[in-house]
Structure formats: structure tokens, C-alpha cells
Structure 1
């Protein structure tokens, strides 16, 4: 077997290893993922014209960002169960990043395809564990945009860059932040490529602007329609962000035992080699300087931009992920010292394998809890209205009850995604559950079970307790139990309790 073919085979074997946490257990539990999965089910039911679902939710048909993930999962759920849709969308994100990164990296350094192994930490990164499905799907599209920008022929600059426009427009419908980042990178690449090849730079900018026009127009419409998306901002302290550069915050989401060290092992070598290049690599040719400039701009954005702004949150870890992605590509393009680069790749692979085994262990544990929850929820049938009460101190359990809505035609009243103005699925104003109490935001909820029927005319049929305290319940828990004391106790376990209205 040729060395190149062997490296390619090893690359895809390592990439396939990252499917282990996803497919190694019944459910791939992430923080926000269950709620996105439930909304994909709601989207499918609304498209089918389901009357029960339509009493609570409506389709938001304006061309907004964040449609790609729900549409993919809804399409899969039209022919397969919810657990398959969940695994399919995360598997697509993993394999697509592996494919698009290798494609770009090999085109930058065809004589050193082993540098493409720097992709491995980007397959199961911070946003995957958080359940940021659309953002995870946006990364391969961003890499595709960079590849096309790097190879866009200027001889056809008078025509319309259709392929680039399609990629950027699909990127808008996947994730707005990634669209803006990709648009800026594409413009810079085409400008510097044009100048590096003897042009004025205007041909490159023309291609970038034409390709981005549909997404720019849609983005302007988004900001005009959603004034709340222009709200206040907060920042992560600078010393924390500086520490993140070497401790692997872009890959570490849940902070399980060992994850800090495994993430640091994958991030620190790339960060240090990238710093060496950013300091001393500017004397290389224009192609290398282009990627160094992209990485430098991403670093500045990470250090300067807020973590919460424009209606979004957790921006800093995502900005760090962009920087790590671009600096790894700069290392690939730069022809950095062969031995040093090889050592870096080796350490990154070892750290990533360690990290993946930790993620697989965590996935199994979380899946067993999701399975336990669904076993107690089994008596809940279609057309049920479920009030979930989450007492768990584990923040990853925040949306676990959404699996109930994802697996049957039932309405679970905790659905934060449907409150977002840009969500494809929206709560109907007359069905909003906010008047019940703080069950969606507190792990010691105070609720008025009958209040939803008084406000909407629709009774709650099931109350589901998750991890409720067995001993010394607080006054709110005692009150809730009194409110359902006449209800039928349909199922229970050590972790869950289900009441059904008689």
C-alpha cells in the first residue's frame, strides 16, 4: 500500500472512532440536543398538518438562520425513530468536518497529507457536547467555503460565483455567526490571492461580495426583524480567555474527569506552534501570510468580541474554535519545521483519542439516564400535555425531558428553543406556559399546575418529576405534590415519578 493511501486509511479510521460516543449507546445526550430533536419532531408534525401540535406551535416560515439542523432531523424522523435522527445529524457533522478539513488541508500541503490529522479535535468539539447542532453543521460548510475561495479561478471573475454563493447561502440558513465568519474569511482570501497573483484585489473582492449578497440581504432582514438581537453584551474575563488558548476550552464542554487534561493535550501543541508561526512566519510567501492573517484576525476576534451579544451566547468558545481551526490550517500551509510539526500532530492524535474515550464513557452514562427517564415516561401517550419538573443538579439534564416530546406526539411544556424569535417552530402566544411558574429555569421549581388550564383552556395531563428529593422536600416541592395528590401515580423509579390526571 502506498504511503499516501495508508495515511488516508488511517485518517478515516481515526475519524470513524469519533462515531463511537454517538453510536455506542441508545441516546447521544447533549445539553441542548434533546430540545432541538423535539422541535424537529414538532416541525414534522406541523408540516403533516397535525391538529394537536398546531394548538401549541406554529411554523415560522420567514427565511431565518438555523433551519438546516431541524430540517435534516425532521426528514430522518419521517422514516426512522428519533434516536436515529439524533445520531444521524451528529454523525453528519463529524464526517462532514473530517471530509472538508482533509480536502482543504491536502490541497494546502499535498506533500504532507499527515498534517490533515490536525482535524481530529474538531470532530467532537465543545459545540457538539453542548448540542449546538446548527453550529456543528456549519463548520464543514465554512471549510468548504474556504476551499472554494482558495481555488476560485479568477479567469471566470466576470461571471457569477454560483457554487460559492450556494455554500454561503446554505451557511446562512445553518448558522448566522458562521456565515459572517466565512464571508469575512472568503473576502480576505480572495483579496490576498488576487493581489498575490498580480492583480489589484478588486476581482477577488467582487467575487466575494457577489457570492455573499443573498446571505447579506437575509442577514439585514434578520436584524431588522429582531431588534432584541441587538441587545447588551458581556465578556469572559481576559485572563480566562488567555488560559483557554492552551487548556482546550474549544474542545472541553462538560468538564468530566480527565477532560481538562485531554483537551489541553490536543490544544497546547497547536497553540504554541501557532504562536511561533504568528511571531516569525510573516516572511514567507503570500499564500502562507494569507492563512497567518486569517488566524491572527480570528485571535483578535476571540480576545475582543463579547461572549453574549446580539441575542446569542457562548460566543467566546466558538470564536476560539474558529481560531484553533484557522491556526491549524496556517500550520498546514506554512511548511513549518517537519519534525516539530510531526511531533505536534502525534501529540494531538494521542490527546484526541484519550478525549474520545472519555466522551464515549460520558455518553454511555448520560444515555442510561435518558433511558431511565423514558422508561418512567412510557405511559405518556399521544396528545398528552406534560409538565416536566427537573430537580437535578446536573446541568446536562436541563433538557432531558424533551426526549418525551421527541418520541411521541405529546407537548412538553419546557421548550426554550420555541421561544426564540428565529426558531422554525414557535410557541403560539395563546399557548405559552410561562404563567405556570419557574419550572423551565429552576431545579427547585415552584408551579401552579392548574394555572395552565385557566390561562389557555388546555389542561395538563401529566406531571413528570425528575430527580425530585426523596427526603426533606422544600415548600415548593411539597406544594406541587399536594396539587397532584389526587392524581394517579402511573410510574416511578429511583429517579423519576409520573402523575396522570384522573
Structure 2
């Protein structure tokens, strides 16, 4: 009997698979429709990824004649994150920029969901695929996805597929399958380093905790572990390469978002809330009806309903374990627990230069590893209850995605409507004020990068070149406005601090800007920007203004100066 069976009868495998795939497609439809139906649905980092893929593509097409050649240079070393940019370059070759952005957002969503469903089928067979499809869709609509961490999600999808490939031949490992697993790990490296590390860790945990081979006894177990480790061998040179790259970012400095006594229940409550990879926004907001926000909205939190559904499913799974199914569940449950505990105890990052949001990524793959372990018990009340609770969580999550889409359309749409006033071939500085919204993902933070795609504009707030693990870098010794300063101004909640930072940025680097694009109103900043421009805004609509430095203000066009 396969994992997840509640009777001795076997359904048609083809029928079960088809039903699961159809269920998943329907479950993802609301989120996918929001991506494509709302004109200015953008994730937080998605616009920056598109912009930098465009820079790379222009460098290949035009070489030194690229409009970005005097500012940016491609870094073609084998880097984590390179795979996603190569994929976007391919999309930009055949699609308009906004369509390419939407396509990547869709692929990172659907790819992760289908990978989870495929893993469930690979481990447990066709039973329970419909309920698993609903859970897979919910896990795919996660916080990293809405943040625009598409490179990580591509890598996470490959990690899940790698686990499934290993599981399908775990007791028949040999050169062919080990080579296939090694190739998947190499591709995973080009996706994201975190997902690669979790893929390798998952393989080792599964090799140790999976049921002993039916034939061979301890020698069969040692053979499986040996081939598993051998399949991970390609990771070694990649680790050496990455170790050399990290020297550019400085020493690793583990950081935790929360501080206090590790024995404090309050600390752990805050930590669990922070780590939650499903929550898209604050827990006191209602989707669509923003005027109804309040503490009562906690009852609408998808994470709450997901937690209740998982408790019901785990109770069904472990309440009456059956021989034969129990050992397989044990391996996947062990992997899920280790990843979830690791996300809670481990750091949230290793310093600004090395990336952040580590805990959410680890927790997300921990939840994905739990899917193959669940017994939905078709026909059982507990199984229907679990599936119903998770279905409710998915419905709420889809409503939040649409609410975010409408907010993005209103805010990012207004910013992008300034494109004609910003112009083409300009050096753009962006001043964002009071941009904090209801969601963890902020559609305004990097939306200005889209104004550089297809226009030849250099957008100085482009954050990727300041990180060694992205394939676009600033030219050496270029005295360019620091992207971090633009971001610090945008996220500052202190008006005096914001004024000090903006005054310093304009005073030091104003000569390298042709246009300043503003969002939000701060009377203390207006005189600084107007003084730089030598006049008032050339475009004003709602919270958006565009200032252009006039000739009388002493503009010096051309490449930024070198240090």
C-alpha cells in the first residue's frame, strides 16, 4: 500500500495525476490572473532583475555602444543568481519588458508549485494529489515570491526536483543517476546558493533516514549513502569558487532580527511571526476592504488556517501509523522538522553584503518537504477537515494577492506613468518618501528600474551592482551615487534623518543626475530638490513629481566622473 492510502484499493494512476494537475492549475488561477490582468502588478525585486537582465542583453548586443557601457559592466563569472538573469535575458529577447517580468513572476510561482506536487507523486503515488495540490499552491504563493526572489524560487524548485529524482532511485543509485543529480545541483548553484545548500542537506538527511534498502542490508545502506555523497561532488568546486567570491563582500556576520533571551516566550512568538514564509503582509489587515483593518483581521490570516490544516493532517498521518507507510513518512518528516527548526534557530542573514531573509527561505523548503509525508486519508473526516482548512487558507491568500496587485497598480502605476517626463538616455536619481505599505513586499522600492528598460536610462537606485553575487557591476573607480543611500532615504521614518541624507546625496552626487523622480511629499526635501534643478518640477501628478536639471543649474552631461 502506498503512502497516503486509506484503503487497499488503488485508483487509476493516470486519473489521479490528471486530477492533481487540474486541481493545482485551478488553485493557482486567481494569483496568475492577478499577475496578468492588473497592469502594474510588480513584485519588490522583480523590476531590478528585469533591468539588470536588460543591461546584460544590451552589452551582448551592442558591446561598447551600449547606453550602459560607461556605467555598468557584466560579470560573467559562474555566480549564484546568474541562472535567473539568463532566463530573463531570453524572455526579453522575445517579449516586451513588462511581459517578461510577468512571465518570470508566473514561472517562479507555478514552477515551485508543480515541483512540490511532482515530489508528492514521486514519493506517495497518485493518492492524495488533489489535497496536496491545494497545499502546493498555497506554499507557492509565499512571501519570497511576492518579494520577487525569483532566483531563489527557481533554485528551490530545482532542489525539490533533485530530492524527487534521488528518492525515485534511492536504492538503485549508480553513475547515471548520480550524474543527473550532480547536474541538477550545478543548475541549482546558478539559481541561488541557499536553495543549493538546502538541496544538498536534504539529500544527506534523506539518505540517512530513509527506510533501509530491501536488499543488501547495511552494505546496501552504505552503498546508497556513498553514491549520494558522490552525486554531491560537483558542489565542492562550486563551494571553493563561492568562498573566493565572498571575500568581495567581507566577513560573514550572522544576524538575528529579534534579540533577547532565548528562553522568552515573547521572543519566540515574535520570531515565529517574523519567520512565517506564508504571511504576505501585516496580520491586522483585511484584503480589499482596507477600511476594516484591525486586530480582528488575525482571523483572516492564511497562516492561521494553514497551521490548523497542517495540525489536522499531521494528526491523521501520525494518529494511526501503518507498517509500510511509516518509514517513508519518517524520512520526510525528519527532513521537514530539521529545516523548520533550523529556520527558527539559525540566523536571518550574514550581513548586508551577503543577503538576508534566510530564515523564511529555509522554512519554506521545510514546509515543502512536509508535503510528501502527509496522509490525507480520503474519505476520513479528519482528512476532509485538513483539506478544507488549507483550502480556506488558499482562498484568503489569493484575496491578499489581488489586494496587493491593486495596491501595486495604484502606487507603482503612478510612478511608472512618469516615463514620458523622465525621458530617455538620462541619469535618474529617485527620491521615495513615505512608501511603507500594508505588505512585506514593497512595489515602490525598485519599480523605478523599469524606467531604465528600453530607454537607455541609468537608474542609480539599482541595488544589484552593490552585491558581488549579481552579474551586473559598476565600473571600477566610478564615482557613482550609492544605491544604498537612495534606499536608506526611502526607508527612513525620521524626517530630519531623511533630510540630512538627501541633502548629502544631492550635494555629493547631484552632478551625476539629469533627472530626479520623486514619490511622496516632504516639505523639508522640496527646496533641496528644487535648488538642485534650478526650477520647479517639470511633471507633477498626485504624489509623483519629476525634476530636470536645467542648463542654468550647471548640468554637465556625460559619464559620471571617476574617483
Is the CA contact (8 Å cut-off) linking 1:299 and 1:320 kept in structure 2? Answer: yes
Is the CA contact (8 Å cut-off) linking 1:436 and 1:451 kept in structure 2? Answer: no
Within the candidate set 337, 347, 358, 1:296 is matched to 337
Is the CA contact (8 Å cut-off) linking 2:142 and 2:279 kept in structure 1? Answer: yes
Within the candidate set 331, 352, 357, 2:374 is matched to 331
**Aligned residues: CA RMSD:** 3.0
1:162-200 CA deviation, whole Å, 9 max, x = no partner? 221121111111010110101111122234447343344
Is the CA contact (8 Å cut-off) linking 2:348 and 2:357 kept in structure 1? Answer: yes
Task: Report deviation, 1:114.
Answer: 2.4
1:249 paired with 2:276, answer: yes
Within the candidate set 344, 354, 358, 1:315 is matched to 358
Task: Report deviation, 1:494.
Answer: 1.2
1:51-90 CA deviation, whole Å, 9 max, x = no partner? 3201111111211101122111121112222111111011
- Determine the structure 1 residue equivalent to 2:463: 416
Within the candidate set 11, 21, 26, 2:24 is matched to 11
Deviates more, 1:149-158 or 1:88-97: 149-158
1:392 paired with 2:434, answer: yes
Distance 2:398 2:483 in 1: 41
| Paired residue secondary structure (1:499) | strand
Aligned length, in residue pairs: 492
Indicate how the Cα distance of structure 1 residues 315 and 146 shifts in structure 2: closer, same or farther if over 3 A, else same. Answer: same
Within the candidate set 465, 472, 480, 2:518 is matched to 465
- Determine the structure 2 residue equivalent to 1:306: 347
Is the CA contact (8 Å cut-off) linking 1:29 and 1:366 kept in structure 2? Answer: yes
- Determine the structure 2 residue equivalent to 1:343: 385
| Paired residue secondary structure (1:386) | strand
| Paired residue secondary structure (1:223) | helix
Give structure 1 stretches of 5+ with no counterpart: none
Distance 1:278 1:185 in 2: 22
Is the CA contact (8 Å cut-off) linking 1:248 and 1:266 kept in structure 2? Answer: no
TM-score, normalised via structure 1 length = 0.89
Is the CA contact (8 Å cut-off) linking 2:163 and 2:203 kept in structure 1? Answer: yes
Within the candidate set 62, 66, 87, 2:81 is matched to 66
- Determine the structure 2 residue equivalent to 1:264: 303
Is the CA contact (8 Å cut-off) linking 1:104 and 1:143 kept in structure 2? Answer: yes
Distance 1:413 1:247 in 2: 30
- Determine the structure 1 residue equivalent to 2:554: none
Distance 1:164 1:134 in 2: 20
Indicate how the Cα distance of structure 1 residues 360 and 209 shifts in structure 2: closer, same or farther if over 3 A, else same. Answer: same
Task: Report deviation, 1:265.
Answer: 3.7
Task: Report deviation, 1:6.
Answer: 4.4
Q: How does 1:344-383 map to 2 (within 5 A)?
A: 344-383=386-425
- Determine the structure 2 residue equivalent to 1:98: 113
- Determine the structure 2 residue equivalent to 1:493: 541
Task: Report deviation, 1:493.
Answer: 0.7
Is the CA contact (8 Å cut-off) linking 1:171 and 1:178 kept in structure 2? Answer: yes
| Paired residue secondary structure (2:431) | strand
Indicate how the Cα distance of structure 1 residues 159 and 81 shifts in structure 2: closer, same or farther if over 3 A, else same. Answer: closer
Indicate how the Cα distance of structure 1 residues 168 and 194 shifts in structure 2: closer, same or farther if over 3 A, else same. Answer: farther
Distance 1:220 1:370 in 2: 41
Indicate how the Cα distance of structure 1 residues 321 and 327 shifts in structure 2: closer, same or farther if over 3 A, else same. Answer: same
1:405 paired with 2:452, answer: yes
1:379-432 CA deviation, whole Å, 9 max, x = no partner? 333321111111133261222222212352210111111100111101113334
Task: Report deviation, 1:286.
Answer: 2.2
Task: Report deviation, 1:448.
Answer: 4.8
Within the candidate set 31, 43, 50, 1:30 is matched to 43
- Determine the structure 2 residue equivalent to 1:157: 174
Q: How does 1:161-172 map to 2 (within 5 A)?
A: 161-172=178-189
Indicate how the Cα distance of structure 1 residues 30 and 432 shifts in structure 2: closer, same or farther if over 3 A, else same. Answer: farther
Indicate how the Cα distance of structure 1 residues 217 and 407 shifts in structure 2: closer, same or farther if over 3 A, else same. Answer: same
TM-score, normalised via structure 2 length = 0.80
